Amino acid sequence: MASKIVLITVFIVDLIAFGLAVGAEQRRSTANIVPDSEQNYSHCVYDSDIATGFGVGAFLFLMAGQVLIMVASRCFCCGQSLNPGGSRAWAIVLFMICWLFFLIAEICLLAGSVRNAKHTKYRAIIGGGSLSCETLRKGVFGAGAAFIFFTSIVSQFYYIFYSKARESFQPYARDAGVGMGTYK
Protein backbone atom coordinates (compact mmCIF):
# COMPACT_ATOMS: atom_id res chain seq x y z
CA MET A 1 0.00 0.00 0.00
CA ALA A 2 1.25 3.47 -0.83
CA SER A 3 2.38 5.49 2.16
CA LYS A 4 -0.23 8.10 2.99
CA ILE A 5 2.38 10.22 4.73
CA VAL A 6 4.45 10.40 1.53
CA LEU A 7 1.38 11.21 -0.57
CA ILE A 8 0.17 13.94 1.80
CA THR A 9 3.65 15.47 2.18
CA VAL A 10 4.22 15.56 -1.58
CA PHE A 11 0.75 17.02 -2.13
CA ILE A 12 1.42 19.84 0.36
CA VAL A 13 4.85 20.59 -1.10
CA ASP A 14 3.45 20.64 -4.65
CA LEU A 15 0.53 22.81 -3.52
CA ILE A 16 2.99 25.35 -2.10
CA ALA A 17 4.96 25.26 -5.37
CA PHE A 18 1.74 25.80 -7.34
CA GLY A 19 0.75 28.75 -5.13
CA LEU A 20 4.16 30.35 -5.51
CA ALA A 21 4.05 29.95 -9.30
CA VAL A 22 0.60 31.53 -9.48
CA GLY A 23 1.83 34.34 -7.23
CA ALA A 24 4.85 34.85 -9.48
CA GLU A 25 2.57 35.13 -12.51
CA GLN A 26 0.45 37.74 -10.75
CA ARG A 27 3.45 39.77 -9.55
CA ARG A 28 5.61 39.84 -12.70
CA SER A 29 7.81 42.90 -13.02
CA THR A 30 6.47 45.81 -15.02
CA ALA A 31 8.40 48.80 -16.30
CA ASN A 32 7.73 52.43 -17.00
CA ILE A 33 9.75 54.76 -19.18
CA VAL A 34 10.74 57.78 -17.15
CA PRO A 35 12.45 60.85 -18.64
CA ASP A 36 15.07 62.66 -16.62
CA SER A 37 14.41 66.12 -15.25
CA GLU A 38 16.20 67.83 -18.16
CA GLN A 39 14.49 65.66 -20.83
CA ASN A 40 17.86 64.60 -22.29
CA TYR A 41 17.38 60.88 -21.91
CA SER A 42 14.88 58.30 -20.68
CA HIS A 43 15.36 55.18 -18.63
CA CYS A 44 13.31 52.19 -17.49
CA VAL A 45 12.06 52.02 -13.93
CA TYR A 46 10.93 48.57 -12.78
CA ASP A 47 8.58 47.82 -9.92
CA SER A 48 9.31 45.19 -7.25
CA ASP A 49 11.13 42.00 -8.16
CA ILE A 50 9.15 39.65 -5.91
CA ALA A 51 8.10 37.39 -8.79
CA THR A 52 11.67 36.19 -9.19
CA GLY A 53 11.72 35.02 -5.57
CA PHE A 54 8.33 33.35 -5.96
CA GLY A 55 9.55 31.59 -9.11
CA VAL A 56 12.70 30.33 -7.43
CA GLY A 57 10.66 29.20 -4.42
CA ALA A 58 8.26 27.30 -6.68
CA PHE A 59 11.26 25.75 -8.46
CA LEU A 60 12.74 24.53 -5.16
CA PHE A 61 9.46 23.26 -3.71
CA LEU A 62 8.65 21.33 -6.90
CA MET A 63 12.14 19.83 -6.83
CA ALA A 64 11.65 18.83 -3.18
CA GLY A 65 8.36 17.09 -4.05
CA GLN A 66 9.98 15.20 -6.91
CA VAL A 67 12.90 14.16 -4.71
CA LEU A 68 10.48 12.86 -2.05
CA ILE A 69 8.59 10.72 -4.57
CA MET A 70 11.81 9.40 -6.12
CA VAL A 71 13.35 8.56 -2.74
CA ALA A 72 10.15 6.83 -1.62
CA SER A 73 10.03 4.77 -4.81
CA ARG A 74 13.80 4.30 -5.00
CA CYS A 75 13.72 6.12 -8.34
CA PHE A 76 11.96 3.12 -9.88
CA CYS A 77 15.21 1.42 -10.87
CA CYS A 78 16.74 0.42 -7.53
CA GLY A 79 15.56 -2.28 -5.19
CA GLN A 80 13.43 -5.36 -5.81
CA SER A 81 11.85 -6.19 -9.11
CA LEU A 82 8.24 -5.27 -9.64
CA ASN A 83 5.55 -7.82 -10.29
CA PRO A 84 4.71 -8.06 -13.99
CA GLY A 85 1.27 -6.79 -14.77
CA GLY A 86 -0.86 -3.74 -15.21
CA SER A 87 0.43 -1.89 -12.14
CA ARG A 88 4.04 -2.18 -13.31
CA ALA A 89 3.13 -1.06 -16.83
CA TRP A 90 1.27 1.99 -15.50
CA ALA A 91 4.12 2.76 -13.11
CA ILE A 92 6.62 2.78 -16.01
CA VAL A 93 4.44 5.02 -18.19
CA LEU A 94 3.61 7.40 -15.34
CA PHE A 95 7.28 7.54 -14.30
CA MET A 96 8.28 8.81 -17.74
CA ILE A 97 5.37 11.27 -17.97
CA CYS A 98 6.10 12.51 -14.45
CA TRP A 99 9.70 13.32 -15.36
CA LEU A 100 8.65 14.99 -18.61
CA PHE A 101 6.13 17.25 -16.84
CA PHE A 102 8.63 17.93 -14.06
CA LEU A 103 11.33 19.04 -16.50
CA ILE A 104 8.93 21.30 -18.41
CA ALA A 105 7.71 22.91 -15.16
CA GLU A 106 11.26 23.44 -13.90
CA ILE A 107 12.36 24.97 -17.23
CA CYS A 108 9.39 27.36 -17.19
CA LEU A 109 10.04 28.40 -13.59
CA LEU A 110 13.79 28.80 -14.03
CA ALA A 111 13.53 30.68 -17.34
CA GLY A 112 10.77 32.89 -15.96
CA SER A 113 12.76 33.72 -12.84
CA VAL A 114 15.91 34.53 -14.80
CA ARG A 115 14.05 36.60 -17.39
CA ASN A 116 12.02 38.43 -14.74
CA ALA A 117 15.21 39.33 -12.85
CA LYS A 118 16.84 40.73 -16.00
CA HIS A 119 16.29 44.45 -16.10
CA THR A 120 17.55 46.90 -18.63
CA LYS A 121 18.34 49.47 -15.97
CA TYR A 122 19.35 52.61 -17.80
CA ARG A 123 19.35 52.93 -21.55
CA ALA A 124 20.03 56.47 -22.59
CA ILE A 125 18.15 57.73 -25.59
CA ILE A 126 19.30 61.08 -26.79
CA GLY A 127 17.07 62.76 -29.29
CA GLY A 128 13.86 61.24 -30.64
CA GLY A 129 14.68 57.50 -30.38
CA SER A 130 12.32 55.02 -28.81
CA LEU A 131 13.01 52.99 -25.71
CA SER A 132 11.76 49.47 -25.05
CA CYS A 133 11.83 48.17 -21.50
CA GLU A 134 12.18 44.40 -21.50
CA THR A 135 9.84 42.43 -19.25
CA LEU A 136 8.80 38.82 -18.91
CA ARG A 137 6.02 37.68 -21.22
CA LYS A 138 2.71 36.95 -19.64
CA GLY A 139 2.07 33.25 -19.06
CA VAL A 140 5.56 31.84 -18.42
CA PHE A 141 4.97 31.35 -14.70
CA GLY A 142 1.38 30.32 -15.52
CA ALA A 143 2.68 27.53 -17.74
CA GLY A 144 5.01 26.51 -14.93
CA ALA A 145 2.05 26.42 -12.53
CA ALA A 146 0.04 24.27 -14.96
CA PHE A 147 2.88 21.78 -15.29
CA ILE A 148 3.35 21.76 -11.52
CA PHE A 149 -0.29 20.71 -11.28
CA PHE A 150 0.20 17.97 -13.91
CA THR A 151 3.42 16.79 -12.25
CA SER A 152 1.69 16.59 -8.90
CA ILE A 153 -1.16 14.44 -10.18
CA VAL A 154 1.00 12.14 -12.31
CA SER A 155 3.65 11.67 -9.61
CA GLN A 156 1.01 10.70 -7.05
CA PHE A 157 -0.52 8.14 -9.42
CA TYR A 158 2.97 6.89 -10.28
CA TYR A 159 3.71 6.29 -6.60
CA ILE A 160 0.38 4.49 -6.06
CA PHE A 161 0.89 2.15 -9.02
CA TYR A 162 4.54 1.63 -8.09
CA SER A 163 3.48 0.64 -4.56
CA LYS A 164 0.87 -1.78 -5.91
CA ALA A 165 3.41 -3.43 -8.20
CA ARG A 166 6.03 -3.58 -5.41
CA GLU A 167 3.55 -4.99 -2.90
CA SER A 168 2.36 -7.83 -5.10
CA PHE A 169 5.85 -9.09 -5.96
CA GLN A 170 6.50 -12.66 -4.81
CA PRO A 171 9.90 -14.07 -5.68
CA TYR A 172 10.16 -17.61 -7.01
CA ALA A 173 11.48 -19.64 -4.07
CA ARG A 174 12.41 -22.85 -5.87
CA ASP A 175 15.47 -23.72 -7.89
CA ALA A 176 14.94 -22.26 -11.36
CA GLY A 177 17.73 -24.31 -12.99
CA VAL A 178 17.55 -27.72 -14.62
CA GLY A 179 18.95 -30.39 -12.33
CA MET A 180 21.71 -32.27 -14.18
CA GLY A 181 23.54 -33.64 -11.15
CA THR A 182 22.41 -37.25 -11.59
CA TYR A 183 23.66 -37.49 -15.16
CA LYS A 184 27.32 -38.25 -15.73
Distance of CA 155 to the CA centre of its chain: 11
Asked if the model's pLDDT at residue 169 lies above 60, the reply is no
Position 143 scores a pLDDT of 94
Measured from the Cβ of residue 23, the count of other Cβ atoms closer than 10 Å reads 18
Residue 95 to residue 14: CA distance in whole angstroms: 17
Residue 104 to residue 112: CA distance in whole angstroms: 12
- Put residue 75 in one of left, alpha, beta given phi > 0 → left and psi -120 to 50 → alpha: left
Predicted TM-score (pTM) of the model is 0.78
According to DSSP H, which parts of 48-175 are helical?
A: 50-72, 86-117, 140-167
pLDDT bucket at 138, cuts 50 / 70 / 90: confident
Position 174 scores a pLDDT of 60
Asked if the model's pLDDT at residue 107 lies above 90, the reply is yes
Position 13 scores a pLDDT of 97
Q: Where are the domains of the chain?
A: 4-167
Higher pLDDT, 18 or 175: 18
Average pLDDT score over the chain: 82
Residue 165 to residue 70: CA distance in whole angstroms: 15
